[in-house]
Structure 1
Amino acid sequence: MAAILALAGSNSSTSINFKLVQYTTSLVQTHDIQEINMAKHPYPMFSEDDEKQNGYPDALVELKNIVQQADALILSVNEHNGNPSAYFKNVLDWLSRIDRKFLEGTKVFLMSTSGGKRGGIGSLGVIENMLPRFGAEIVSTFSLPSFHENFGSGAIVNAEFKEEHLTALDTFLETLQ
């Protein structure tokens, strides 16, 4: 049984990406899952000056330790202007300064969603290219477009997207056997 960490790259209390993460984890039956709601975790903006003067914030060292204890990661990234949110990029900046290979050996199911027709695909692409630099193995990806039309009552309601999501999730889970 693998230890899976699940989170969204959003600090919004109403994050649709976190809703997608929660739906995804509800489908996983055979592994230990820890969900983190990032809306409850404010972090300071990364600054080399701050790093030199104060070192690493305890909360980010703790997050790095949680990430490194996991065998795998379910992550859904939000999108601002075609890129990951400043919040999530900031988290990655801090974590990679604490330990450049903080995701070494971690298998990742990478997702995104948005209210628009592109489904956060720009942000997904940026993060898909970035995470391997930190040691991650992107096993599968999934993007859900038009969240408010394709998701309801805590689940994907569009049959085609539901099947695509399940296939990507199964591919990810198979690598954890």
Structure 2
Amino acid sequence: MKVIAFGASTSSTSINKALATYAANLIEGADVEVLDLTQFDVPMFSEDKEKEIGQAEGAKMFLTAIHQADALVISFAEHNGHHPAAYKNLFDWATRIEREVFKGIPAIYLATSPGPGGASNVLAAAANSAPYFGGNVKATISVPSFYDNFDLEAGSLRNAELAEQIQTAVKQL
């Protein structure tokens, strides 16, 4: 099974990328590819820019990567209660090429933040909008207080209850 995982963030120290990587690597026998969203450079979306350049190459590359997957593990970062601008911009370009970006590929949606909210606002928004974009979300999990619950050095969850929730979720893929 080919699993594409990514954190919906362009931070070089993304805690969401760490969480997505952890979860994807729990899938037995999976061939895991972790995307770095900085690989998919796109200009700020506008209809004027789209008329000028057509389809953004970075968005085409993103869609190609997504469509190679048998399963997706995405962890959503939250900036002021919303998707980070860089992810939203890439996603907007991708939907202009193909509205059903996720093509019904089974997915686990995660989110985390340093605070107690665990990026739950953006996780809910992503899960609620997923059906409009071909999303096939099997489970959603918010991990609050990332640095209290995740050991970055070991690359694993310290919190046994959250670890069990993620283990159960990835079995649905």
TM range (shorter): over 0.9
5 Å-filtered alignment, 1:113-128, equals: 113-128=112-127
Distance change >3 Å, CA 169–CA 9, structure 1 → 2: same
Any stretches of 5+ residues in structure 2 without a counterpart? Answer: none
Give the AA of the match of 1:126: A
Deviation at 1:40, TM superposition (A): 4.1
Give the AA of the match of 2:37: M
Q: Does 2:155 match 1:158?
A: no
Any stretches of 5+ residues in structure 1 without a counterpart? Answer: none
Q: Cα deviations across residues 10-63 of structure 1 (Å, max 9, x unaligned)? A: 000010000101211221222222111224443211111010111012221121
Give the whole-Å Cα distance in 2 for the aligned partners of 1:71 and 1:81. Answer: 32
Give the whole-Å Cα distance in 1 for the aligned partners of 2:73 and 2:84. Answer: 17
Deviation at 1:116, TM superposition (A): 0.6
5 Å-filtered alignment, 1:14-53, equals: 14-53=13-52
Q: Cα deviations across residues 81-100 of structure 1 (Å, max 9, x unaligned)? A: 11111111111111100111
Aligned length: 171
Aligned-residue identity in percent: 37
Give the AA of the match of 1:121: S
Distance change >3 Å, CA 39–CA 65, structure 1 → 2: closer
Give the whole-Å Cα distance in 2 for the aligned partners of 1:39 and 1:147. Answer: 22
Q: Decide which moves more: 149-158 or 56-65.
A: 56-65
Q: TM-score, normalised by structure 2?
A: 0.93
Deviation at 1:105, TM superposition (A): 2.0
Q: TM-score, normalised by structure 1?
A: 0.91
Q: CA RMSD in A?
A: 1.3
Deviation at 1:128, TM superposition (A): 0.6
The question of whether the paired residues in 1 share the 8 Å contact of 2:110 and 2:140 is answered with yes
Give the whole-Å Cα distance in 1 for the aligned partners of 2:68 and 2:170. Answer: 21
The question of whether the paired residues in 2 share the 8 Å contact of 1:114 and 1:147 is answered with yes
- For the residue of structure 1 that corresponds to 2:64, the secondary structure is helix
Q: Which residue of 2 aligns with 1:132?
A: 131
Q: Does 2:65 match 1:66?
A: yes
Deviation at 1:169, TM superposition (A): 1.7
Give the whole-Å Cα distance in 1 for the aligned partners of 2:128 and 2:105. Answer: 15
Give the AA of the match of 1:31: A
Give the AA of the match of 1:86: A
- For the residue of structure 1 that corresponds to 2:73, the secondary structure is strand
Q: Decide which moves more: 23-32 or 76-85.
A: 23-32
